[in-house]
A and B are shown apart, each in its own frame.
Chain A
């Protein structure tokens, strides 16, 4: 009669083991992304089915259902998160390969960067403030177009909530990846460098990932835009923060 109880104990121990090791949530992260990627492909590469959004929704559902905390999840997933740093350094590779093109387009790039970076910070804070956003929310929102680790650092420095900023950065990335193609088609901007650069400034690495899917040159310029905007946002936000 004791067999079911023993089996339950066994499963309990298994769950305890899995909760303690990074293996489970690391695997779950990759599996969720693979499902997101498969759905994106099944939808004919439609930007509206975003792999990251699907993966996040699946993982949050699993964590809520199993009563797992974000801290436990992150213990496993941190190995993926860590790669953001080396991936940023890797942007030097497409940058070097396209150096001549980049040098030729330096003036339009820097003009677009300055205009885009200021727009990203000011418009987000202004719209959210007009709709009654709290001060902490506004401060966390300001660096949202910079890539995750950098935006988090900026938010911390100005009194925002770094973990809220991380969430807002990801949502910004997903929105940009979804709307960039129809938006720039409507505006009749056909140049791949301009298109890639725009989504890189607005939506950092998730925008760059979308750009790399569509066109190599667009991806390269998106990567450059992401690196430059990380730098400019870090300089700009502390200067503009006095106005918030």
Chain B
């Protein structure tokens, strides 16, 4: 377990350091993900320890958003004052984004004659 956590933190730290030192406009954790991917590609397998940590953390990914979400209490005044543009903007944009992304994905996949992955029953 220690090695897996160490590897994660090292990738994240390297990501943040490289991004800042080189001034590239890539988010640190995203570069960290690419570094981890490169490490896994070099190992040619996912170590059991890392698999275990991924299982735990990714299955409760939404928990990690709770502390930031509670910050809604700081913005009650603004949300009251601008509830219409905020809520309609968020709702319309989220629905539209899901629809556009899924349809483009599906359409290009079919145009290229690619097989579907798994079908929803």
* Residues of B close to A189: CB separation below 8 A: 102-103, 105-106
- Select A96's contact among B40, B85, B94, B108, beta carbons within 8 Å: B40
Instruction: Determine whether the beta carbon of A94 is less than 8 Å from that of B12.
Output: no
Residue A164 CB within 8 A of the other chain: yes
Where chain B touches its partner, the secondary structure class is helix
* Residues of B close to A199: CB separation below 8 A: 98
Instruction: Determine whether the beta carbon of B109 is less than 8 Å from that of A52.
Output: no
* Residues of A close to B30: CB separation below 8 A: 88, 150, 227, 230-231, 234
Residue B23 CB within 8 A of the other chain: no
A119–B99 Cα gap in the complex (Å)? Answer: 10
A195–B71 Cα gap in the complex (Å)? Answer: 30
CB distance from A98 to the nearest CB of B (A): 9
Instruction: Determine whether the beta carbon of B26 is less than 8 Å from that of A119.
Output: no
Residue A139 CB within 8 A of the other chain: no
Number of A-B contacts (CB under 8 A): 341
* Residues of B close to A93: CB separation below 8 A: 36, 40, 46, 50-51, 54, 58
- Select B101's contact among A107, A119, A127, beta carbons within 8 Å: A119
Which residue of A is nearest B50, CB measured? A93
Residue A32 CB within 8 A of the other chain: yes
Instruction: Determine whether the beta carbon of A170 is less than 8 Å from that of B65.
Output: yes
Instruction: Determine whether the beta carbon of A172 is less than 8 Å from that of B118.
Output: no
Instruction: Determine whether the beta carbon of A190 is less than 8 Å from that of B120.
Output: yes
* Residues of B close to A163: CB separation below 8 A: 71, 74-75
Interface size on A, residues (CB 8 A): 115
Q: Which of B1-15 contact A (CB under 8 A)?
A: 5, 8-9, 11-12, 15
Question: Interface digits, B70-104 against A, CB 8 Å rule (1 contact, 0 not)?
Answer: 11111100100010111011111111111111111
Residue B63 CB within 8 A of the other chain: yes
CB distance from A125 to the nearest CB of B (A): 8
Instruction: Determine whether the beta carbon of B93 is less than 8 Å from that of A148.
Output: no
Question: Interface digits, A139-177 against B, CB 8 Å rule (1 contact, 0 not)?
Answer: 001001100111001000000000110111111110111
Instruction: Determine whether the beta carbon of B101 is less than 8 Å from that of A115.
Output: yes
CB distance from B6 to the nearest CB of A (A): 11
Instruction: Determine whether the beta carbon of B68 is less than 8 Å from that of A194.
Output: no
Instruction: Determine whether the beta carbon of A108 is less than 8 Å from that of B109.
Output: yes
Residue A242 CB within 8 A of the other chain: no
The answer to whether A175 and B85 touch (CB under 8 A), given A80-B66, A93-B54, is no
Instruction: Determine whether the beta carbon of A202 is less than 8 Å from that of B66.
Output: no
| Interface residue ranges, A against B (CB under 8 Å) | 29-30, 32-33, 51-52, 55-56, 59-60, 63-64, 70, 73-74, 77-78, 80-81, 83-97, 99, 101, 104-105, 107-109, 111-113, 115-116, 119-120, 123-125, 127-134, 137, 141, 144-145, 148-150, 153, 163-164, 166-173, 175-177, 179-180, 183-184, 187, 189-195, 197-199, 201-203, 205-206, 208-210, 212, 215, 217, 219, 223, 225, 227, 230-231, 234-235, 238
Q: A77-B67, A167-B68, A193-B117 are in contact. List 15 more A-B contacts (CB 8 A).
A: A33-B62, A56-B72, A81-B68, A86-B5, A92-B39, A105-B117, A127-B85, A132-B84, A180-B98, A187-B99, A189-B105, A197-B102, A206-B61, A217-B118, A238-B25
Question: Which 7 residue pairs are nearest across A and B when measured between Cβ atoms?
Answer: A116-B101, A133-B85, A128-B89, A77-B67, A92-B36, A198-B102, A124-B93
